[in-house]
Amino acid sequence: MATVRAQPTISTHPSFHTGTFVPQEGLDTAVDTMLDQLIAWSGALRGVRQGRTQTPTAA
């Protein structure tokens, strides 16, 4: 199991007070960090996934 540590919280109550979504300050940085970690893990696990599909099965 891969753990993505960055988990930004989005408060919907104050973000929609004008009828449109207004992100909190710093949310873009938090989401960027989360996506960077997710991309890194997906690249690291690519070899594991490919190894499973290339493993010969016994008949």
pLDDT at 4: 81
pLDDT tens string 2-59: 788 888 888 777 666 677 777 788 889 999 999 999 999 888 888 887 877 765 666 5
pLDDT at 33: 93
Instruction: Judge whether 31 and 8 are in contact, CB under 8 Å.
Output: yes
pLDDT tens string 16-25: 667 777 778 8
Question: Considering just the CA atoms, what is the radius of gyration of the chain in Å?
Answer: 19
pLDDT at 30: 92
pTM over 0.75: no
Q: Name 24's Cβ contacts closer than 8 Å, sequence gap at least 6.
A: 10, 11, 14, 15
